Structures are given as structure tokens and as C-alpha cells.
Structure 1
Amino acid sequence: MSASPAGVPSTQAIPTGWRRRVDPRPGLQRVVASSMAIVQIVVAATGAFVFAHFVLGHPAPLLAATVTVGSLGLVRDARPRQVAETVLGMLVGIVVAELLYLIAGTGWWQIALALGVTLIVARFLSAQPGFAIAAAIQSLIVMVIPSPVPWVRLIDGIVGGVAALVVTALIPRSPVKTEVRDAERLFAAFDGSMAALTQALRRGDRFRAERGLEKARAVTPVVDDWRSSLDSGRAVARISPFLRRQRSELQRHERIRRSMDLAVRNLRVVARRVVYLCDDGMPRPVVADLLGEIARAAGIVASSLDDISFEPAAREAVLAVAARLDPRTIVPEASLGEQNLVAGLRPLVVDLLTATGMPHADARLAVPRI
């Protein structure tokens, strides 16, 4: 079995037959990943139902529970603003349906009318499709299961929405753990692309260079996942008293994310130049070594996510490469394309330096003037 430069096997066993069909591990992983969300939903829905039933005296506060379940959900983005928008959409559906129920009663055509009006109003109020769907579901519940007491279900919906927001703050999902997992996926994808490009330059292999370009392009969705989970975590940390200590760590990770977002864009530029260079099939070990050093330095930046003490080592590793990125000296007799490739590595290295906490102006001064 061969191994990639990152130490990950390039081939591995793939389960087939009955083992693939009954493997419980993916399901268990989903349960573990959603465990805190499940706790949030159970606590919020139960608490809202208990309050509406035993404190307010509502006989069957169905909407108090359904609003909490629908607003929290199992999605990655559980930021308070997102939860509040979903709650607002549900309340819009309840209000519209209650008004139409008082005016026209219930029946098949009243249900159709309530659903149509709710969707129109919700789409007017918000550009998010989920907002309109949440409103429509609650509107249907109000029309199909009428209540003899007007507006009691609106109160239930408000109780459910407040419970969802309170639980978001008091039983927060683990923001750092989630976003670090996304960050690790980003750095792994970044390393995979760099490894393919390094091997392509070392062998003069255009096919491998194109594979590296494909991997570089595939990193973009991973960057978006990290941005989403990090934004969600920072939003929850701002309102949760239990996440106060994590706010500075999340802010530091946001700085790394912004830098890596730019680094990924520059990686695609580098990858396209590598594909162009490998057209002639000539190996370029000097530039390959440069790319390999940058990849190893990026690995140290990844280690600094969990341990800030790695940042100085990561900065020194990137600086060691940055100081040599002068195309006129490192590849003096090379072609124009090879010198352009070295020049293209300069902004990538600047991005990695800012990821280690170096100010952008100082990072730019770290590379030689050309």
C-alpha cells in the first residue's frame, strides 16, 4: 500500500456486500454529531409544553412544542438570529390562519385560502424559502385543528419561540468543536491539493497537476462550511454566558479562516500555473520542494487551531519559505512560466503569515521585493 506525502494511505479497503449495507457507524456518527441539538430540542419542546399547559392552563398546547422543534432543528446553523427568524415565520403563519379562521371558519377551501395567503405574506416579508414553509406548516395546523379559544395558539407559539431562544443560550451547541472539525477538513483538503501539485512538479506529470487543480477547486465548499459553523458559533457565544471564555478563541479562528479563504483562492491560481508548466513533462524539483515546504508550514498553522502555542512555530516555518521567494535567485535560469509560478506563491505565503497572526503589512514585507 502506497502512502501520500501527508502520511495518508492513497488506497484503502472499501466495504462491500452486507457489511456496507448494515454498517452502523455512519448512523452512530450522526447521532453523536447531533447529540447537543437533540438535547436542545427535547428540553425546549418539553419546557414550552409544560409552561403552556400547567402555568397558562392551555389544554393542548401543540404549537408550543412544534414551534421549538421547527425553529431549532438539527441543522448546522443554530445562531440566535436564524432561530428567531424561523420563529417569526411560524408566528406569521399562526396569525394569518387565526384571522382567516375567525372570518371564514374552517373547511377545505378555507384551508386552501389560508395556505395561499400565508405563503404570499411570508414570501413578501422574507427572501428565505424556509421562512415561508415554516409559516405555511403552522398555518395548516391552525386551520386543520381548530381551537374554541381565539388567539390561544398564538400565545403557544410565542412560548415555544421564547423557549427555543432561551435554550439556544443556556444549552448551547459546542461551537468550537463544530467549527474546528470544519477547519480540519479545510486544511486536509488544502494539504491534499498541495500534495498532488508537489508530486506533479516533481515528476512533470500533467495528469496529477490537473488532479491537484480539481482538488483546489473542491476546497471552496469546505471553506463555506467553516464560515457557516464559525459564524453560528460566534453568534451563540455572544448571548450564552457559558461560552464567554470561548469568544476570544472563536475570534482567533475567524482571523485564520479569513486568511485561509484568501489562501485557497491563491492556491487555485498556483494550481492553474502548475498545470500549464507540466505540459512539457519536465520535472521541476526546486519549485516542488518550495511547494512541499509551504504545505508543511500550513500543517503547523492547522495545529495552532487547537493550541495557540503553535502559532510562533508556524510563523517561523512560513517565514523561512517567504524569505526565499525571489524568482530571480531561486530559479535564475528557469523559464518565464516557472518564474511566474514562484511569483504566484508569494501571495499564498502572505496569506499563511496573516493566518499565524502577523499583520498584513508585515507579511508583505517578509517576501523579497521584485
Structure 2
Amino acid sequence: MRARAAGWAAGGWRRLVESGPAIVQIVVAAMAAYAFASWVLGHRTPLLTITVAAASLGFKRDARPVRVTRTAVGMSVGIVLSEIAVNLLGVGFWQVALITLVSLAVARFVSAEPGFPATVLVQAAIVVLLPSPAGGPFVRTLDGVIGGVAALLATVLVPRDPRREAGRAATTSIDAFQAVLRMLIVALRGGDSAVSAQALDLARTSQGPTDAWAESLESALSVARISPFLRRYLPELQSQQSLQRSMDLAWRNLRVVARRADYLLRDGEPRPAIADAVGQLETGTELLRESFATIEHLPAARAAFVAVVRRLDPEDVMPSGTARDKGLVLALHPLLVDLLCATGMPQAEAQRLLPAV
């Protein structure tokens, strides 16, 4: 019980630290919107400036201006429809039901995110259930628009560091990639089909972290293109996007290798020569991972991959092996090409390095 509580606390602290920049950004946007509506426009209780600004930014990985704008527009439309309904139909049980229905429908049309309709509904409920403020029927609509504009400006003027989320997602994806390679090394060296089955299971569940990496990079690039404070990171982020695309392809080919290895090892026979080749792949992948922090590791990663490519002639690796053994060696070829491309090597050059078979 104590260990579980400690794990929960550690997880909560990690989330808090990781979300620190987002918290600062949300507070700045919400308070700026509130201050403008209250002190400049004279609105007495501009509650919706805070709720719309906070909901538009949120803690999501995708902080692209287009997503923030879409969220703010969706909530503003829900607010204005609620204002119209209240002024035309009044407030009662069936009116609340109608506004709830319309708000959910609009939210579902605007965004595919499952939690977005509830966010829109909260804004609509504030309009319907709280007393109308002084200043006219659409004061709260204006407050919502102010909150949305503040959120959009915050993505440009108070941006989150776009490299942090992308870096975390990249590390998660590459760590899993290395874990699959290590399992395959153990399985091939010992002829252990149970370990190869675990490697295959892990490879099959890898798409989530890889997609999260791509989404983080798309968001980071979108913000960096428009923010004067982050534009200097564009070359770095574009380089990482090329790496991510190559690693996405490498993951697909690694799944093929894992499936073939799992099928092959059902006979319980070890394949140490293939395990050695996969071991060199894992070494190169570790250097590739380290290049995120120190770019000097990138040439070393490429050299490690080049060295294993030149050794991957099936007749040399498994001279007395079966056709399936040699087929597994051949399955490493496209994987290696993708890893070489991840180091920045052009695909045509990487393919020319492959042994003729």
C-alpha cells in the first residue's frame, strides 16, 4: 500500500513538473483576458474569459494554433447559441435540454476529441444557469471571444518550449525500439521462443508512442513557425521530424523482423550469428538516441549501422542455414536502410550499401 502511494505521488510530481510551462501559459492567458474584459471593457464578472482561455490551451500535446483556434471557436459558437436560446426561449427545463442537445451537437461537429463536448457544455451551462450580467445580452459571448484570442496570442507570445514534449515522446519511442531489439538478441542467442513472443507483443503496441512523437513535432513546428521566440529552433525540429519519419518506417520493418524471428524460433534452435547482427543494430540505436543530447554521436551511430550492413549477406551470416534463416537476415536489410536514413543518409546511398543477393 505504501509503495503504491509512493508511486502515485511520484507520478503526480512528474506530471506537475512536466506541465509547469503549460500552467504558466494558461495562467498568463486567462488573467490577461480577465483583466482586459474587467478593466478595459468594464465587465463585472467575466468568468468566461478564464474558462475559454484555459480550455483552449489545456494540457494537450497538440498546442498548434489551429487547434487552439478551433477549440476557441467551437466554445464561442456554443456560448452565442446559448445566449440566443436564452433570450428567445427563456430558461426552463426543456430549454436547458434543448441547449444541451445543440451544444453537444456543435461540439461534436467542430472537434473529434472525446472530451471537447463536455468543455463546450460547461460554457453553455454557465450562460443558461447563471444570471445574465449587466451590459447587454451578448456580453458573455464577447468574454468568450476575448478568452479565445488571449489563448491564441499566448501560443505565440508565451509559448511552451516545443522541444520538451517532442523530446520526451522521441525518448519513449526509441526506448521501446531498443527494448524490442534487446529481447530479440536474447531470443536469437538462446533459441527462446517465449522471449521472441514478448518482443513481438511489444513491437505490436509501439505505434502509440510513435504517433505521439509525430503529433508533438507537428505541434512544435506549427508554434515555432509563428513565434518570434521559437523560430530559431525550426532547423532542429525539422531535422528531428526527418528522424521521426525514418524511425516510423523502421518500426514497421522491426515488426516484420520480430514476426519472422518469433516464427523461426519455434524450433528452439539458437541463431547467435543473427543475434550478433541485431546486437550491433542495438548499439547504433543507442548512439542515435544519445545524439538527441549530443549531436557528435550521430556519425558514430551511422558508422555502427554501416558496419552491420556490410556484414549482412545471408550466405555469410548463415552459410548452412535454412531458407527461413536467410529470410530473417534479408528482413534486416530494409530495417537497416531506415536506420541509416534516420542518421541523415539519403535512402539511395543507404540502399547501395546493401550486399548484393
Length-normalised TM-score, structure 2: 0.95
- Counterpart-to-counterpart distance in 1, 2:216 and 2:109: 28
1:125 Cα offset (Å): 4.6
- Counterpart-to-counterpart distance in 1, 2:116 and 2:76: 10
**Residue-by-residue CA offset, 1:316-353 (whole Å, 9 max, x unaligned):** 11111111221123322211111000000000000000
Task: Pick the aligned partner of 2:273 from 280, 286, 290.
Answer: 286
Does 2:4 align with 1:20? yes
Aligned twin of 1:53: 38
- Counterpart-to-counterpart distance in 1, 2:105 and 2:20: 36
**Residue-by-residue CA offset, 1:263-314 (whole Å, 9 max, x unaligned):** 1111111011111221221111111100100111111111122222222221
Aligned ranges for residues 168-317 of structure 1 at < 5 Å? Answer: 168-317=155-304
Aligned ranges for residues 28-177 of structure 1 at < 5 Å? Answer: 28-145=13-130, 146-148=132-134, 149-177=136-164
Which has the higher mean CA deviation after the structures are superposed, 19-28 or 243-252?
A: 19-28
1:116 Cα offset (Å): 1.5
Task: Pick the aligned partner of 1:360 from 344, 347, 353.
Answer: 347
* Two-structure CA RMSD over aligned residues (Å): 1.5
1:218 Cα offset (Å): 2.4
- Counterpart-to-counterpart distance in 1, 2:199 and 2:113: 36
CA contact (8 A) 2:26 2:57 kept: yes
CA contact (8 A) 1:86 1:134 kept: no
- Counterpart-to-counterpart distance in 2, 1:328 and 1:197: 21
User: Which letter does structure 1 place at the counterpart of 2:256?
Assistant: V
User: Which letter does structure 2 place at the counterpart of 1:147?
Assistant: P
CA contact (8 A) 2:70 2:110 kept: no
- Counterpart-to-counterpart distance in 2, 1:18 and 1:215: 30
Is the partner of 2:91 in helix, strand or coil?
coil
Residue correspondences, number: 354
1:164 Cα offset (Å): 0.5
User: Which letter does structure 2 place at the counterpart of 1:121?
Assistant: V
Q: Unmatched 5+ residue regions in structure 2?
A: none
1:127 Cα offset (Å): 4.4
Is the partner of 2:144 in helix, strand or coil?
helix
Q: Which runs of 4+ in 1 moved over 6 A?
A: none
Which has the higher mean CA deviation after the structures are superposed, 100-109 or 44-53?
A: 100-109
- 1:231 to 1:124, Cα distance in 2 relative to 1, 3 A: closer
Aligned twin of 2:337: 350
- Counterpart-to-counterpart distance in 1, 2:22 and 2:89: 39
CA contact (8 A) 2:71 2:111 kept: no
1:128 Cα offset (Å): 4.4
CA contact (8 A) 1:255 1:355 kept: yes
Is the partner of 1:324 in helix, strand or coil?
coil
- Counterpart-to-counterpart distance in 2, 1:180 and 1:22: 26
Which has the higher mean CA deviation after the structures are superposed, 351-360 or 306-315?
A: 306-315
- Counterpart-to-counterpart distance in 1, 2:176 and 2:112: 33
1:137 Cα offset (Å): 2.1
Which has the higher mean CA deviation after the structures are superposed, 100-109 or 258-267?
A: 100-109
Is the partner of 1:241 in helix, strand or coil?
coil
1:241 Cα offset (Å): 1.1
Length-normalised TM-score, structure 1: 0.92
Aligned twin of 1:5: none
1:108 Cα offset (Å): 2.4
1:212 Cα offset (Å): 1.3
Aligned twin of 1:331: 318
User: Which letter does structure 2 place at the counterpart of 1:31?
Assistant: L
1:94 Cα offset (Å): 0.9
**Residue-by-residue CA offset, 1:161-213 (whole Å, 9 max, x unaligned):** 11101111112112212211111111111111111111111111111111111
CA contact (8 A) 2:83 2:137 kept: yes
